[in-house]
Amino acid sequence: MLSQEDLASSATSSPASSLYSPSPHGTGTGHVSSWLEELTSDHQSVRLVGLLYQCAAQVSAGAFDAANLYLEQITQLASLDSPHTLHRLAAVFADALARKLLTLVPGLSRALHLSSSSSTTTSAGETTVHHHHLVAARRHVFDMLPFLKLAYLATNRAVVEAMEGERFVHVVDLSGPAADPVQWIALFHSFRGRRGGAPHLRVTAVHDSRDFLRTMNGVLAREADAFDIPFQFDAVEARVEELDPDALRNALRVRSGEALAISVVAQLHRLLAVDDVMSGSRRNNGAGGGSSCLTPVQIIARSSSSPRSFGELLERELNTRLQLSPDASSSVLSSSPGTMAAQRPKLGSFLKAVRGLSPKIMVVTEPEANHNAGSFQERFDEAVNYYAALFDCLERATATSAAAQKQQGRCVVERVVLGEEIRGVVAREGAERKERHERLAQWARRMEGAGMERVGLSYDVMMEARKLLQSCGWGGYEVTHDARGDGFFFCWHKKPLYSISAWRPAAACRLGS
């Protein structure tokens, strides 16, 4: 897997780049098509990388005409149905970049969405995927990639170690869409084999689907009965970001006398978007709020000089929007640990509420990426590199099998799961940008700022994870320690893609409680 710098340099120094150097004021579509057809697949892939970065730069600058030209070239090379991984990746990113351009022109965006006859198009212009398609797609993620399996295994092992000698254990599952009953069935196995027998176990699951919670309850109750484990299940129908920190103890039904463990997989980052609801409201009511709903006619009317083209008018408006972007103004704050608590009160208050529950352990799994940067260009660059690695993982999962079912599964994951994440990172802003992945170092600062401290994951946890990779024949994957040696990274060819870490209330907080 090439790094971002390698990709960028190869895109500009390869033989393919010398065949054509696109210009915003270049020749027409027919000429572009002719040179594209002459490129080999390898040259097309290299060229696509350069076009993606160039297009993103033009989007970031608000250069509508230039961005449109690059998108036109990308779509002639890229396809969701291509046998080449990079071509499929480029097609997904082209879609996200086009949506980004569209959302920067609210009048045009809303008009197009209102004219759509599809009932699956939301007011924000995003296509809603039916629930059963999402369930199937997430099942393919679990089957084809090892990351969820590794997260479940490592979490369970850490919970069992933390609960040594405890007779009443309460596990809270905050993983939402990433939750799966199979994780807790495996925990039944682990508890059943411990000295002194299994504890009385209660599982509370937070999920926004009543059907999922009902199914999870039935499955776990049957398995617990088969293992002869005293068991109780509590369902909380909600999203993690909807939980009220001030009423968290009641919402999660935390009781005294039970040892508490919390598991959360790929969900904490969604709390980072909640505060933009209020900040977005303040912006719309402020001095700059009037520019958020300008139509093309209003753009022309307010221009102080005669425009040469409608494209020039549009570029002026896009530049204005980008300068007023909430993310652009907060880029310094988002990278400063000292201002995190003030900038993200929802997450901070949630983590402090969790600390107040006095869990013996809280295990957090998150994507290891910087998709919450203030700069659009920085987010885009990071996303291309990160999701290229995940597309490679999927390609590896299907390379050794000609089964049509696996090929179909790969397509579903790329389009439904990863495609939706990429649109979230690239095309959306404010409260709508839910995919705000951050690196473990940033999460550590947030957790410690909320009064939590690290719980070192043991060597046995890492060895169990490595054994799982070996037993399933997942070559190219590995489990490595983070810099502090307390958490782990799940890697693909040395590139960390997910992190897992464990936490508990800091000693001072435990003594003071």
Q: What is the pLDDT of residues 396-418, one digit of tens each?
A: 998 866 566 778 889 999 999 99
pLDDT of residue 166: 96
Helical spans, DSSP H, in 344-439: 345-356, 376-399, 404-412, 419-426
The per-residue pLDDT for range 13-52, each reduced to its tens digit, is 332 222 223 333 343 444 444 444 555 666 778 889 999 9
Sign of torsion over alpha carbons 175, 441, 145, 86 = positive
- Give pLDDT, residue 44: 78
Return the half-sphere exposure (C-beta side, CA atoms, 13 A cut-off) of residue 325: 24
3-state secondary structure of 269: helix
Q: What pLDDT is recorded for position 511?
A: 54
Cα distance between residue 417 and residue 419, in whole Å: 6
Distance CA 335, CA 500 (A): 21
Each residue's pLDDT, cut to its tens digit, for the chain (513 residues) gives: 444 444 443 333 332 222 223 333 343 444 444 444 555 666 778 889 999 999 999 999 888 899 999 999 999 999 999 999 999 999 999 999 999 988 777 766 667 655 543 334 443 344 445 566 778 888 999 999 999 999 999 999 999 999 999 999 999 999 999 999 999 999 999 999 888 889 999 999 999 999 999 999 999 999 999 999 999 999 999 999 999 999 999 999 999 999 999 999 999 999 998 866 555 544 444 433 333 344 444 444 444 444 444 445 455 555 554 544 444 333 333 434 444 434 446 899 999 999 999 999 999 999 999 999 888 999 999 999 999 999 999 999 988 665 667 788 899 999 999 999 999 999 988 888 999 999 999 999 999 999 999 999 999 999 999 999 998 888 899 999 988 878 999 999 999 999 999 999 998 665 555
- Distances in Å between the alpha carbon of 267 and those of 206, 238, 302, 504? 11, 13, 43, 18
Give the helix/strand (H/E) hosting 262: strand 259-265
DSSP state of 119: T
Helices 4-13/41-61 angle, 10° precision: 110
Three-state DSSP at 335 gives coil
